[in-house]
Amino acid sequence: MEYLPFGSGRRICAGVAMAQRMTAYSLAMLLQAFDWELPAGARLELDEKFAIVMKKATPLVAVPTPRLSKPELYYSA
């Protein structure tokens, strides 16, 4: 997931507060709904690459597995 800026000062996006809340909410839903693990044979690399913004040297790859057996339990009517 890549976070994109919304501008600043007088030209800031009017929806920035809602977008920040929705990003956090969406991430929380993904973390709650799935068990996450590395692909078979993969190692977790924590090395960073120096740039204007610090990034991981190798991107993180994770495999999601649904936590609940019935998909309809994830959605409320």
Q: What pLDDT score was predicted for residue 4?
A: 61
Does 30 appear as a known binding residue? no
Residue 4 lies in a domain: no
**Domain count along the chain:** 1
Q: What pLDDT score was predicted for residue 63?
A: 94
Residue 60 lies in a domain: yes
* Dihedral pair phi/psi, residue 48, rounded to 5°: -115, 155
Q: Please determine, for residue 77, whether its predicted confidence score (pLDDT) is greater than 60.
A: no
pTM score, two decimals? 0.62
Tens digit of each residue's pLDDT (9 = 90 or more) over 7-47? 777 777 888 888 889 999 999 988 988 999 999 998 888 88
Q: Which domain holds residue 32?
A: 9-71
Residue 1 lies in a domain: no
CA distances (Å), origin 14, targets 4, 5, 8, 10: 15, 12, 10, 10
